[in-house]
């Protein structure tokens, strides 16, 4: 089962820090497992919790929200709100029955190429081990 | 206008508060009965299912369906009434969004079965009897019960819905407005509103709320209603009491606020959000106070802070779980 | 057309099964099945409740302080008893006593609620259509519109206005009439302003007049009609000698909001008494395979099947039961009406099922009188309406007398105040075995030789309507996917094989 399970991961990156970090990881030729898609927003605080719920509904196995380190947000306090939202969202997802590891919050600065790479690869490995999201399994079963 | 139109009030998984809401029209009902005959309405009339089955398609002008879709009978009645009715209205938050019966989506059928027929304190069931969809008694009597579905659905999950009237239950003011729309239509004075109209405001409850609101609402500290003195003048959120006004549609006249209790979202979300709970979650997290040394606050403390919002699933989605993005709870193979 | 219409033309049914779906003029989803033998005589009847939602399970994990606002949705016809039983359970769970003014305000709103509920049932659901239009009137006429046509728009308006006032009072006191909001552990959310007190006081006298009017309606439309009275007191029809249960105050007087639950035997002697701490000693529930609703019974007697008498655990609740159980009603007009009631019916306890309707009118009178007492109480505008708890909630049981009978909410929560277990014992469930009992007896008495009529079929429905059932309340349960048990019996009723699927092992 593990061989054929290809996780679907969505990564929200903020424009100023984590997206730049992702870019740098690419330029620096870090090897990244291919099972993720990046969506860029101006700030991690722009990431609406509803989008994350929608991602899971549409069959995502995991979601990463990446922003600037606390204190470094381009908009001063955006990421403070982000981490409050993510903490509450994680409790909610747990109540929905999802393994709480499926949502990760990462602080990645513009120069942290290696951190971006390891965050992505570690996350994909963990998700591969946990298996597909039950919402994804349900959706695929319904579409058959 | 010589002939009366037919109106039906059909029930799904309901508490019948919506039936009573219509009865609350009190003397306005007399105006209704001048132009309309009440046909299938199990709380009030003796029209049976076989009578409805014998009607022509479109014989009923308006059907108000209240209650969620929980079992095969609810679905059957929804489809039958849809066929026989020109206009189908999802009446009340249960039909529109799932309502409180929708909270059953937080759990599983097996758990419910075990709890109700074995575990509750007064149940005595040593033979493990369970109700059955088909049962034949020792005397040969055949009896059927509707099949219960795995999850609670809303009316528009099973039939095409023309209009929505929300709240739990719809207020007298909403019903008076609905009545005037119906009367105008029957008397040829006005056409019907565009299909899909929701009979409510497009703004959130905060617009309607009579309390004084500061320029910027900030929650200093999250408090619980059971242990806190409730100030009748100040915005609840400002007091640290969770109130779902910011994410909830206006139109209910803020009745809960007027009796000094915070909103719990029974009007459902406004049109511009995907997910009622998600939008409230975001609003709540956004207005929590940010300290001046926030960057030094460790992640664990933020988690502890957010845990003060009790039972996010049952509270943020109190009335709208079946219409949320994720709709129901799932089970993972691994939980760690 | 003379009203009430009590007889109509019979016709023969061709099949040995009569099914009536849905049951109408009640709250909730139910259906009736009547099985006939080869001679067209009734073998048995089954009054099935076909709905379930699952409160006893999905309330687990919810914060206990939210329960009063979640459990109102058990029923939109009688949300107040749920709200108050829930609030009382919270009072006990948190170990906090409501203030005196809070209790009075809860009771005040509650009296207005009982007025609404009894008015709706008497005029729109039962007495109006079945006794004023007549149980054999055309089905299309047997409803609130038909009642208004018979009694006239003036009386119709009077009824609608009285009920509107009851709704308004509930809204002023509790926030909403349907789904009140104001209950908190230790009290309520808001005191009553002097302005609102005056508003309510203005309506109070009118409600008392309406109570008198309703008793007059019972007198003029029922008691003066010999045919109706003969049916009511016919011991071969709507009559069972059962146990009765109801809430009484310290001196065994009728009380809707607080007190002990008193149980009397069919002869009228006190059999047992319980309060929130020990209700489990007296109450239990039986499960049947043909209904989603469980069958409550007296634990000390046991479930003995569908029969009445002192050896059967079947107990009845709601207005007739309460009048039987209470020694007296503490307000004068209602007490006078109760005395007349028992003198006409031949003493206490009264076993005539259709007398539930009359008892309901007497309770309506009491609710109106009690409402006036409370609104004139000096403490009713007190600002002291809440004692804020200090302790953590643990276990709480709240009992009230709902319009349809005794209601019990029982919550157990964990250390953080989330519900981990709950039990709901609801009035209409308690009357459910008796509804079936009544229907079996009446069906056997009125259906012969395959002959039925519209009126006769409606009479079967009157068997449950007397109890004013509320099945949304009762069926908080939800079994979901059907596990199956098939039992095969030979002609000697011996079990020869039992097949099970999906039934958990003990």
Q: Note the pLDDT tens digit of each residue in C72-88.
A: 999 999 999 999 999 99
What does the pLDDT read at residue C471?
Answer: 86
pLDDT class for C481, splitting at 50, 70, 90?
A: very low
Comparing A12-21, C133-142, C383-392, C481-490, the range with the smallest average pLDDT is C481-490
The answer to whether the CB of C333 falls within 8 A of the CB of C320 is no
What does the pLDDT read at residue B150?
Answer: 93
B67: left (phi over 0), alpha (psi -120 to 50) or beta: left
Helix, strand, coil in percent for chain C, rounding step 5: 45, 20, 35
The tens digit of pLDDT for each residue in A76-115 reads 999 999 999 999 999 999 999 999 999 999 999 999 999 9
Kindly determine whether residue C285 and residue B258, on different chains, have CB atoms separated by under 8 Å: no
Domain ranges for chain A: 9-143
The answer to whether the CB of B169 falls within 8 A of the CB of B64 is no
Residue of B nearest to C504 (CA): B128
CB atoms closer than 10 angstroms to residue C491: 5
Distances (CA, A) of C275 to A112, B121, C278, C423: 67, 15, 6, 15
**DSSP code per residue over C445-505:** HH-BTTEE-HHHHHHHHHHHHTT--BHHHHT-----S--EEEEEE-TT--EEEEEEESPPP
The answer to ipTM > 0.90 is yes
Burial class (CB in 10 A: 0-12, 13-18, 19+), C270: exposed
For domain A9-143, the question of CATH label 1.20.120 is answered with no
Q: What is the pTM of this model?
A: 0.94
Kindly determine whether residue B325 and residue A53, on different chains, have CB atoms separated by under 8 Å: yes
Shortest Cα–Cα distance, C135 to chain B (Å): 11
Counting every residue written for chain B, the total comes to 336
Counting every residue written for chain C, the total comes to 506
The answer to whether the CB of B277 falls within 8 A of the CB of B328 is no
The tens digit of pLDDT for each residue in C260-302 reads 999 999 999 999 999 999 999 999 999 999 999 999 999 999 9
Q: What is the share, in percent, of chain B residues with pLDDT greater than 70?
A: 99
For residue B253, pLDDT over 80 is answered with yes
Q: What is the share, in percent, of chain A residues with pLDDT greater than 90?
A: 94
pLDDT class for B1, splitting at 50, 70, 90?
A: very low
Rounded to whole angstroms, the Cα distance separating B88 from B83 reads: 10
Q: Helices (H) and strands (E) in chain A — how many of each? A: 5, 4
What does the pLDDT read at residue C496?
Answer: 65
Residue of C nearest to B150 (CA): C480
Domain ranges for chain B: 5-100+152-186, 205-323
Rounded to whole angstroms, the Cα distance separating B63 from A110 reads: 59
Chain B residues with beta carbon closer than 8 angstroms to that of C484: 132
CATH fold of C97-233+356-388 reads Cytochrome-c3 Hydrogenase; chain B (1.10.645)
The answer to whether the CB of C70 falls within 8 A of the CB of C62 is yes
Q: What is the share, in percent, of chain C residues with pLDDT greater than 90?
A: 90
Kindly determine whether residue A81 and residue B324, on different chains, have CB atoms separated by under 8 Å: no
What does the pLDDT read at residue B2?
Answer: 57
The tens digit of pLDDT for each residue in B63-81 reads 999 999 999 999 999 999 9
pLDDT class for B140, splitting at 50, 70, 90?
A: very high
Residue of B nearest to A81 (CA): B286
What does the pLDDT read at residue B261?
Answer: 97
What does the pLDDT read at residue C491?
Answer: 63
A and B: number of Cβ contacts within 8 A:
108
pLDDT class for B113, splitting at 50, 70, 90?
A: confident
| Phi, psi for residue B261 in degrees, rounded to 5 | -130, 145
Burial class (CB in 10 A: 0-12, 13-18, 19+), A37: exposed
C8 to chain B, any CB pair closer than 8 A? The answer is: no
For residue C497, pLDDT over 80 is answered with no
What does the pLDDT read at residue B273?
Answer: 87
The answer to whether the CB of A112 falls within 8 A of the CB of A21 is yes
What does the pLDDT read at residue C488?
Answer: 63
What does the pLDDT read at residue C163?
Answer: 96
pLDDT class for C52, splitting at 50, 70, 90?
A: confident
Nearest-5° angle of CA C251, CA C255, CA C261?
Answer: 75
Shortest Cα–Cα distance, B278 to chain A (Å): 5
- pLDDT, averaged across chain A: 94
Residues 6+ apart with CB under 8 A from C496: C488, C489, C490
The tens digit of pLDDT for each residue in C126-179 reads 999 999 999 999 999 999 999 999 999 999 999 999 999 999 999 999 999 999
What does the pLDDT read at residue B221?
Answer: 92
Distances (CA, A) of C348 to B127, C323, C328, C339, C345: 38, 9, 11, 10, 8
Chain B 242-301, residues with CB within 8 Å of chain C CB atoms: 255-256, 258-261, 264
| Phi, psi for residue C242 in degrees, rounded to 5 | -120, 175
Domain ranges for chain C: 1-51+428-475, 97-233+356-388
The tens digit of pLDDT for each residue in B157-215 reads 999 999 999 889 999 999 999 999 999 998 888 888 999 888 888 899 999 999 998 88
What does the pLDDT read at residue B335?
Answer: 64
Walk across the sheet containing B36-38 and list its strands. B36-38, B5-11, B60-66, B85-91, B163-165
Among B299, B307, B326, the residue to mutate for chain A (most A Cβ within 10 A): B326
For residue C505, pLDDT over 80 is answered with no
Q: What average pLDDT does this structure show over A28-46? A: 96
Residues 6+ apart with CB under 8 A from C209: none
Chain C 403-432, residues with CB within 8 Å of chain B CB atoms: 410, 416-418, 421-425
- Residue C270: strand pairing partners: C264
- pLDDT, averaged across chain C: 93
pLDDT class for B88, splitting at 50, 70, 90?
A: very high
For residue C506, pLDDT over 50 is answered with no
For residue C480, pLDDT over 80 is answered with no
pLDDT class for C411, splitting at 50, 70, 90?
A: very high
Q: What average pLDDT does this structure show over B36-41? A: 94
B196: left (phi over 0), alpha (psi -120 to 50) or beta: left
The dihedral built from the CA positions of residue C176, C179, C183 and C189, taken in this order, carries a sign that is negative
The tens digit of pLDDT for each residue in C364-380 reads 999 999 999 999 999 99
C31 to chain B, any CB pair closer than 8 A? The answer is: no
Among B53, B95, B121, the residue to mutate for chain C (most C Cβ within 10 A): B121
CB atoms closer than 10 angstroms to residue B142: 12
The answer to whether the CB of C128 falls within 8 A of the CB of C147 is yes
- Residue C49: strand pairing partners: C30
Neighboring chains of C (3 or more beta-carbon pairs < 8 A): B
Q: What is the share, in percent, of chain C residues with pLDDT greater than 70?
A: 94
CATH fold of B5-100+152-186 reads Rossmann fold (3.40.50)
pLDDT class for B134, splitting at 50, 70, 90?
A: very high
The answer to whether the CB of C308 falls within 8 A of the CB of C241 is yes
Question: Cα B130 to the chain's mean position, in Å?
Answer: 29
Residues 6+ apart with CB under 8 A from B285: A81, A84, A85, A87, A88, B306
pLDDT class for B334, splitting at 50, 70, 90?
A: confident
Among C37, C66, C274, C290, the residue to mutate for chain B (most B Cβ within 10 A): C290
Q: Half-sphere exposure of residue C473, counting CA atoms within 13 Å on the CB side?
A: 32
Query: What is the SS3 assignment for C119?
Result: helix
Q: Half-sphere exposure of residue C368, counting CA atoms within 13 Å on the CB side?
A: 31
Counting every residue written for chain A, the total comes to 144
Chain C 195-214, residues with CB within 8 Å of chain B CB atoms: none
Return the beta strands (E) in B48-162 as ranges. Answer: 60-66, 69-71, 85-91, 134-136, 142-144, 148-153
Nearest-5° angle of CA C248, CA C344, CA C129?
Answer: 85
The tens digit of pLDDT for each residue in C211-228 reads 999 999 999 999 999 999
What does the pLDDT read at residue C482?
Answer: 34
The tens digit of pLDDT for each residue in B217-231 reads 999 999 999 999 999
């Amino acid at each position: 089962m593990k061989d054929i399970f290809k996780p679907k991961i969505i990564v929200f990156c903020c424009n100023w820090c984590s997206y730049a970090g992702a870019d740098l990881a690419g330029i620096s030729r870090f090897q990244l497992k291919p099972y993720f898609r990046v969506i860029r927003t101006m700030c991690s605080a722009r990431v609406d919790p509803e989008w994350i719920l929608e991602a899971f509904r549409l069959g995502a196995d995991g979601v990463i929200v990446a922003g600037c380190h606390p204190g470094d947000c381009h908009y001063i306090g955006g990421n403070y709100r982000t981490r409050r939202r993510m903490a509450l969202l994680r409790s909610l997802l747990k109540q929905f029955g999802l393994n709480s590891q499926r949502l990760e919050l990462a602080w990645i600065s513009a120069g942290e190429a290696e951190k971006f790479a390891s965050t992505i690869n570690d996350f994909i490995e963990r998700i591969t081990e946990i298996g597909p999201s039950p919402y994804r399994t349900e959706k695929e079963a319904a579409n058959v | 206008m010589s002939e009366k139109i037919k109106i039906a009030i059909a029930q799904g998984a309901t508490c019948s508060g919506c039936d009573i809401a219509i009865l609350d029209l009190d003397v306005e009902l007399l105006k209704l009965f001048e132009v309309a005959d009440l046909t299938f309405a199990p709380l009030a009339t003796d029209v049976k299912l076989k009578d409805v089955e014998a009607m022509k398609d479109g014989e009923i002008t308006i059907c108000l369906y209240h209650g969620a879709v929980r079992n095969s009978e609810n679905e059957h009645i929804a489809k039958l009434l849809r066929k026989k009715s020109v206009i189908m209205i999802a009446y009340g938050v249960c039909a529109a969004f799932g309502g409180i019966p929708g909270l059953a989506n937080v759990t599983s059928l097996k758990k419910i079965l075990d709890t109700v027929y074995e575990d509750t304190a007064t149940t005595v069931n040593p033979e493990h009897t369970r109700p059955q969809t088909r049962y034949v008694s020792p005397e040969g009597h055949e009896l059927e019960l509707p099949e219960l579905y795995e999850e609670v659905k809303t009316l528009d999950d099973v039939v095409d819905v023309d209009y929505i009237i929300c709240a739990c239950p719809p207020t007298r003011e909403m019903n008076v407005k609905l009545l005037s729309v119906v009367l105008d239509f029957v008397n040829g004075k006005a056409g019907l509103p565009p299909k899909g109209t929701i009979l409510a405001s497009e703004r959130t409850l905060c617009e309607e709320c009579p309390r004084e609101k500061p320029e910027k609402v900030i929650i200093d500290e999250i408090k619980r209603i059971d242990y806190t003195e409730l100030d009748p003048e100040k915005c609840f959120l400002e007091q640290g009491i969770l109130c779902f006004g910011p994410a909830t549609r206006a139109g209910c006249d803020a009745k809960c606020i007027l009796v000094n209790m915070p909103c719990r979202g029974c009007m459902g979300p406004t049109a511009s959000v995907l997910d009622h709970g998600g939008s409230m979650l975001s609003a709540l997290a956004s207005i929590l106070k940010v300290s001046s040394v926030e960057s030094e606050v460790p992640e664990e403390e933020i988690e502890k802070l957010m845990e003060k919002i009790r039972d996010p699933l049952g509270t943020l989605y109190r009335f709208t779980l079946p219409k949320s993005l994720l709709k129901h709870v799932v089970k993972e193979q691994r939980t760690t | 057309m003379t009203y009430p219409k009590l007889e109509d033309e019979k016709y023969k049914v061709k099949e040995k099964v009569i099914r009536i779906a849905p049951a109408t003029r009640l709250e909730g989803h139910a259906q009736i099945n009547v099985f006939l033998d080869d001679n067209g005589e009734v073998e048995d009847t089954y009054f099935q409740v076909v709905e379930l939602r699952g409160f006893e399970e999905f309330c687990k994990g919810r914060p206990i302080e939210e329960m009063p606002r979640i459990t109102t949705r058990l029923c939109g016809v009688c949300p107040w008893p749920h709200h108050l039983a829930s609030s009382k359970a919270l009072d006990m769970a948190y170990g906090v006593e409501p203030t005196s003014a809070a209790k009075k305000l809860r009771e005040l709103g509650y009296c207005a609620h009982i007025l609404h509920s009894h008015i709706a049932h008497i005029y729109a659901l039962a007495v109006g259509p079945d006794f004023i239009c007549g149980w054999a009137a055309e089905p299309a006429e047997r409803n609130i519109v038909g009642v208004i046509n018979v009694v006239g728009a003036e009386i119709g308006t009077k009824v609608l206005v009285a009920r509107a006032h009851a709704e308004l009072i509930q809204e002023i006191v509790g926030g909403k009439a349907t789904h009140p909001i104001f209950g908190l552990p230790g009290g309520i959310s808001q005191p009553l302003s002097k302005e609102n007190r005056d508003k309510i006081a203005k309506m109070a006298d009118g409600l008392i007049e309406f109570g008198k009017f309703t008793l007059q309606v019972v007198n003029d439309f029922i008691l003066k009609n010999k045919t109706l009275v003969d049916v009511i007191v016919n011991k071969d029809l709507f009559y069972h000698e059962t146990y009765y249960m109801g809430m009484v105050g310290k001196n065994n007087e009728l009380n809707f909001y607080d007190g002990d639950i008193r149980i009397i035997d069919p002869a009228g002697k006190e059999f047992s008494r319980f309060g929130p701490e020990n209700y489990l000693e007296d109450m239990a529930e039986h499960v049947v395979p043909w209904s989603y609703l469980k069958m409550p019974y007296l634990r000390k007697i046991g479930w003995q099947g569908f029969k009445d008498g002192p050896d059967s655990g079947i107990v009845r609740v709601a207005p007739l039961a309460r009048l039987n159980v209470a020694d007296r009603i503490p307000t004068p007009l209602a007490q006078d009406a109760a005395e007349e009631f028992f003198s006409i019916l031949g003493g206490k306890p009264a076993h005539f099922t259709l007398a539930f309707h009359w008892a309901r009118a007497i309770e309506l009178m009491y609710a109106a009188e009690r409402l006036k007492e409370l609104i004139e109480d000096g403490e009713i505008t007190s600002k002291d309406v809440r004692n804020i708890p200090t302790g953590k909630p643990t276990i709480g049981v709240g009992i009230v007398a709902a319009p349809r009978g005794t209601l019990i909410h029982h919550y157990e929560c964990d250390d953080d105040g989330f519900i981990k277990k709950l039990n709901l014992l609801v009035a209409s469930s308690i009357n459910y075995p008796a509804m079936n009992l009544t229907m079996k007896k009446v069906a056997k008495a009125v259906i012969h030789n395959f002959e039925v009529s519209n009126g006769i079929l409606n009479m079967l429905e009157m068997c449950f309507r007397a109890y004013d059932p509320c099945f949304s309340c009762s069926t908080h349960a939800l079994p979901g996917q059907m596990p199956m048990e098939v039992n095969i019996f030979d002609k000697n009723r011996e079990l020869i094989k039992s097949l099970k699927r999906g039934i958990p092992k003990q």
